[in-house]
Chains A and B, each alone.
Chain A
């Protein structure tokens, strides 16, 4: 069974809607959620996710409370997404808070980009929480191959240079290259179109991740629209 991973920004669009979205996601057949803590600077995110962070920061200061709430209502794995840039100084405290809220894993999008010389140290420190590792096509083959087995739940592979952008890429070539290297479940994301989803899965990925697509759905039609999008994706995935 192929995985559907859904991204939500913690506290977006409002605290109550965020909680509602999670309930809906689980009931629509999502296999895992990534929950993004608004960072100081969302370096490697595209415009939609950046906008959601700005908005979330305005409406909610209760990030950890919301994560605790999320844990209560979710049976599926809950991956917290945060930029290491914000927590590298106090990483142990950060891990303690993640343990407290019961996160299943942590995803640090900047780990292999800005902290590549010390990633093993962070991997070791976060061993019990577990890191879901983010990779992309501009990482060396050797590194992707080496790190993929250490990734918890699955290895995340972002196809485009930033989330939610529609830069043209050869999806088939990219996924095939990654598939050869990754000895783990391979989940692919970043600006996937419906057409991309089918190509990604047919060429060896074990699942897909959507984020910006859901933020747009929230902006356009709220929880209902998100539910429609997720059900449709579930259908496409199960049909491949």
Chain B
């Protein structure tokens, strides 16, 4: 167990998760079965752990974290640290204070394990011994591999092929924890075979990988664990924001702006929702996405399938369409075509603002952060850093004092090879 003083732990690590749905400004449109098809909603019962499904649809503001899960949170090093980025502040020389919650301190390297542990526990508790999932960059896959190891479950992880090729380190990490890692599209599922028949060079996408993981779970009566999008997943991630809230209180700070990067929305939701739903103070919320996956600027807010094959129920969300094939950017975690329905609603109703950044700007931000604060951020998290740097510069231009807090959702040590390639690709004249 990580040696955290008991008093601090009890004070900071929450007993309950927080679900924002009862506090959203508008009703969250329910999942929908597509016309003229079998019920995808009914099918969820055969895919997801029962308790997860129950949490998804029993909308309660606070849900007690099971003792077995809270124990694992302690084992993994929760609460994670909240740092002040003083060296970055000095460099920017703006009238701002910058704090960051460091989820990269968790053993698998990102926030993803917060829900992986909960879902693995629920699968284990209902007597299932094998789970499946998909992964893009590998953070989610590594989290599932770790969580499965903690509960002695077997795990089969479909990894988007572009990432499988680009991120051998993460692949090795998953295998080290004992998981089976399969490049997607694969020949293990009908979906994979179909995609490969159309395009043998298909780089893979999260949508295809999700479909494969679900099909594999259905065919073998395993359980599928989901890394983002579900309300229950965002709820498990709320430990990030709830801890940060307490840590800021202890420090006597009140944030003005909250920033996090967005793929499917679990890191943003987990970090920002407690502040959005529970704090009455006026704050600004900024979601940072990838310009190469322009869901905010080009996506539509409509019912779409969260997976490429359309096995899951349709969700009303901001989406680029389930057929969207993202360019093979290094931030694999941001390549998803859709967005959690709750975050989609908050963006559509203007509560959360968005920015999108291209890889070059993100690389620059990541290096600034590494050279000032010492931590190599995950390329996904570097989108948030880019936004923070811009916000600080704007505050300087406008002479506004601001307290900015962002979620450093993961570290980038396993992405260092990719950073090296990016440095070559974007080398200045």
Contact = CB atoms under 8 A, between A and B. Distances in A.
Interface of A: 41, 43-44, 46-47, 50, 112-114, 116, 136-141, 143, 160-162, 165-170, 173-174, 177
A170 B22 contact: no
Contact of B26 (A116, A160, A166, A173): A116
Contacts of B35: 41
A182 to B, nearest CB: 14
B54 interface: yes
Given A138-B27, A161-B41, A177-B60, A168 B22 contact: no
B8 interface: no
B38 A167 contact: no
Contacts, number: 86
A143 B26 CA distance: 8
Contacts of B23: 140-141
Contact of B54 (A41, A116, A170): A170
A47 B54 contact: no
Nearest to B38: A47
B300 interface: no
B45 A138 contact: no
Interface residues of B, number: 28
Interface in B276-299: none
B66 interface: no
Contacts of B44: 167
Contacts of A41: 35
Sorted from nearest, which 10 A-B pairs have the closest CB atoms? A137-B59, A170-B58, A139-B27, A138-B28, A47-B39, A168-B54, A161-B30, A141-B22, A169-B58, A169-B57
B327 interface: no
Contact of B27 (A116, A167, A168, A173): A116
A32 to B, nearest CB: 24
B266 to A, nearest CB: 18
Contact of B57 (A43, A113, A139, A167): A167
B57 A137 contact: yes
> Most A CB atoms within 10 A — which of B31, B42, B45?
B42
Contacts of A177: 22, 59-60
A173 B21 contact: no
A30 B350 CA distance: 45
B413 interface: no
Contacts of A141: 22-23
B33 interface: yes
> Most A CB atoms within 10 A — which of B26, B29, B50, B57?
B57
B57 A160 contact: yes
